[in-house]
Structure 1
Amino acid sequence: MKDLTSAVEHRQEHRFARSRDPRSAAKILVYHPEPEDYVVGIRRALPDAEVVFGSDPDFLRQHIGDTEIILAPRFPVEALQDAQRLKWIQSTNSGVDFLVPVRERLKNTLVTNARGVHGEVMADYVLGTVTMLHWDFPDLLRQQAAQQWKPKFVDPLSGKTIGIVGLGAIGAEIARRAKSAGMTVLGMRRGSARLGEPVDQYYTREEFDEFLSRSDFVVLVVPATTETYKLVGAKELSAMKRSGYLINISRGSVVDELALIRAIGDGQIAGAALDVFEVEPLPPTNPLWTMPNVIVTSHIAGNPTEYPRRILEIFFENARRYLAGEDLINVVNLARGY
């Protein structure tokens, strides 16, 4: 493998400076609770690189000083003050909100994420929970456990409207799945519409209340930023239909959880499917665990099988580009937070 530090200047706003002997091998730090699959793959594909791995903050502090590349889902950002040669952070997640508060320290560091890995499986999750909420599968399962035989009549999903907040790669895939089910699709995003998106009508942030009032299912697919903090609170929940459902696959900080619990308990909305929470793991005392019209999952909506392999495909493509001085894929704009 060519030395990673021999990359020419990046053509975007970031540049890779040669801060040490160009003949030395790059040091790649894998900071992950389950690093084995990543480490084996990297060592096989990049045999000249020095690869260290661990998941302990002391390990991170010990090695970050001369590390050139970090691959991690997240890490204690305090360690960045000791980073002298860091050029590139490859996140194994899509969200990199933990880096936003320290973005000034990363002006000369490229950050890339796992965009593209999660779209299909998250769309599966959303359409699955839409169906479960629509049919009230939690109650059907309770009936099964009690050996109760009850008739039920349900409107077809093709007569329902889904509102998707955040039409990036994941949101667009959800829109395609919903449209294939015959649903009316509403969308809200920053920026203009994209050609070919299966969205029936777009809304701006200023039109959020109308968007919510029209949606039978509101799906949140936005990054955690200052702009999206508690995007959905008591006011927004009161704008939803009483028969409406909230589905959150973004971040727990996007929803005012206490307001949501109250809205569901008071019958202000019909229920929710939640994969993310303000505190994770969700504490045993949280009422969401036992609310009859709430589906709780443990932040798994974006977990396809063979996850390390999918991440390494992105990492190796970016390593090739890094060496060649080409633009990397999945570059994150930390000023925006995604």
Structure 2
Amino acid sequence: MSASRPTIVVLTAPDEPIPEGFEALEAEAELRRADDAAGLRETLPGAEILCVTDFRTDALADAWPAADALAWIHATSAGVDALMIPEIRDSAIPVTNARGIFDGCIAEYVLGQIISFCKDFAGNYRLQQDRQWQHRETEPVAGRSVLVVGAGSIGRRIARTCSAIGMEVDGVGRRARDGDEDFTAIYAQADLLSLLPDYDFVVIAAPLTADTEGLFGAAEFKAMPPGARLINIGRGPIVKTDELLAALQDGEIDGAALDVFEQEPLPADHPLWGLPNVAISAHMAGDFIGWKRALSEQFIDNFRRWQAGEALNNPVDKQSGFSAAGR
């Protein structure tokens, strides 16, 4: 059983307030806020819970010696790569994440990008701006093949969404598995290079780990068929940006929809902005109206489970960096 009124430290991005909805906890816990390493060092002593809302934070390693009472760490994001410093990864402290909150909207984003590519919405827009009437034929969506790299909850929602309109969807996980209910087949990540020639769309939905960082580079783009498109809603460093740029410029792949980048924000002078076959969004594929409130409610529900001594929802396998329920 936890302390009757524990202390929760909320690590936010600089100048961001404690998330909307956390006021519901004021009678049940002491809330402290930090937005940098110095603030975190000041607020961690005696705190039982750390809630990290800044998924890009680099404050944890510097402030960690001040963590003398932590019993649970929560990330209000699906990815937990920023939290996986050795001190946390090798500790007995459980880590949970925001699994499930963003799945539906990310799947809608992916399907929207696939339809946009097939129906050439970008081409329509350019012709409209030039007031040109140009009849063209476009591609069917049904029957297209999709490889989803990352078979966790987000990847599975993408598979179900794309399958519903007649696309053929396979997955890539840490290991191959038969008889999956969402994917036609799940292959091992070790076989990725040999799989890529067979798909019209490759969707990256994996978390950033030591095994996925830099997973897509020149060799992978050369293996994809010339008409293939890449969609990345996972993490930017999974893709080697310079090698993707070269593949797009050389016509090795036909296009890319990118929501995440190695460097965020993407610099205004980056060549990717000017490519007509690239769709760029600002790390927002899953962010729906009301998402911040939904994250707060998810954390509050888990907090009350923790207070009651119940098992926490959404535990993360800290050694792999994946949700413990992920694939």
- Is the 1:119–1:170 contact (alpha carbons within 8 Å) kept by the matching residues of 2? yes
Residue matched to 2:325: none
- For the pair 1:321 / 2:301, whether they are aligned, the reply is no
1:160 paired residue among 144, 156, 164: 144
Please give the alpha-carbon distance, in whole angstroms, between the structure 1 residues aligned to 2:305 and 2:140.
Answer: 48
Moved more, 150-159 or 132-141: 132-141
More helix by share: 1
Cross-structure match for 2:155 = 171
Question: Shift of residue 85 of structure 1?
Answer: 1.0
Take 1:329 and 1:271, find their aligned partners in 2: how far apart are those partners?
38
Give the Å deviation of 1:103: 4.0
Match of 1:57 among 25, 37, 54: 37
Q: For structure 1, which segment, 309-318 or 178-187, has the greater mean C-alpha deviation from structure 2 after superposition?
A: 309-318
Out of 208, 212, 221, which is 2:192 matched to? 208
**Secondary structure class of the residue paired with 1:157:** coil
Deviation at 1:196, TM superposition (A): 5.6
Shift of 1:155: 2.6
Identity over the aligned pairs, expressed in percent? 37
- The unaligned stretches of length 5 or more in structure 2 are 323-327
Greater displacement, 161-170 / 25-34: 25-34
- Could you tell me whether the CA contact under 8 Å between 2:232 and 2:258 is conserved in 1? yes
Of 301-310 and 260-269, more deviation after overlay is shown by 301-310
Matches within 5 A, 1:288-307: 288-307=272-291
Task: Identify if the C-alpha distance between structure 1 residues 43 and 106 changes in structure 2 by more than 3 Å, giving closer, same or farther.
Answer: farther
Is the Cα contact below 8 Å between 1:136 and 1:293 reproduced in 2?
no
Q: By how many angstroms is 1:160 displaced? A: 1.1
Structure 2 residue 127 is matched with structure 1 residue 143: yes
Deviations 1:116-158, CA, capped at 9 Å, x for gaps = 0010000000000111122222222111111111111123111
Provide the C-alpha distance between the structure 2 equivalents of 1:36 and 1:265, rounded to a whole number of angstroms: 43
User: 1:48, CA displacement in angstroms?
Assistant: 3.2
| Map of 1:186 onto structure 2 | 170
Deviations 1:43-68 (A, max 9, x none): 32451311122424332221112222
- Partner of 1:132 in structure 2? 116
Residue number in structure 2 paired with 1:279: 263
Instruction: Kindly report the root-mean-square deviation, in angstroms, between the aligned alpha carbons of the 2 structures.
Output: 1.8
**1:158–1:181 contact (8 Å) kept in structure 2:** yes
User: Is 1:186–1:211's contact at 8 Å kept on the other side of the alignment?
Assistant: no
- C-alpha displacement of 1:285: 1.9
In structure 1, how many angstroms separate the alpha carbons of the residues matched to 2:122 and 2:189? 33
Q: Distance in 2 between matches of 1:164 and 1:224?
A: 15
Q: Shift in Å at residue 334 of structure 1? A: 1.2
List gaps (5 residues or longer) in structure 1: 1-5, 8-21
TM-score (norm 2): 0.91
Task: Give the TM-score normalised by structure 1.
Answer: 0.88
Is residue 126–residue 247 contact of structure 1 (8 Å, CA) maintained in 2?
yes
2:70 corresponds in structure 1 to 86
The answer to whether structure 1 residue 238 and structure 2 residue 222 are counterparts is yes
Query: Secondary structure of 1:163's match?
Result: strand
**Cα deviation, residue 313, structure 1:** 2.5
Alignment match, 1:259: 243
Q: State which of 3, 6, 23 in structure 2 corresponds to 1:43.
A: 23
Report how many aligned residue pairs link the two structures: 316
1:206–1:107 CA distance, 2 compared to 1 (3 A): closer
Displacement of 1:199 = 2.0
- Are 2:186 and 1:198 equivalent residues in the alignment? no
2:83 to 90, 93, 99: 99
Alpha-carbon displacement from aligned partner over 1:146-199 (angstroms, at most 9, x marks no partner): 111111112311131111111111111111111111111121112454766232
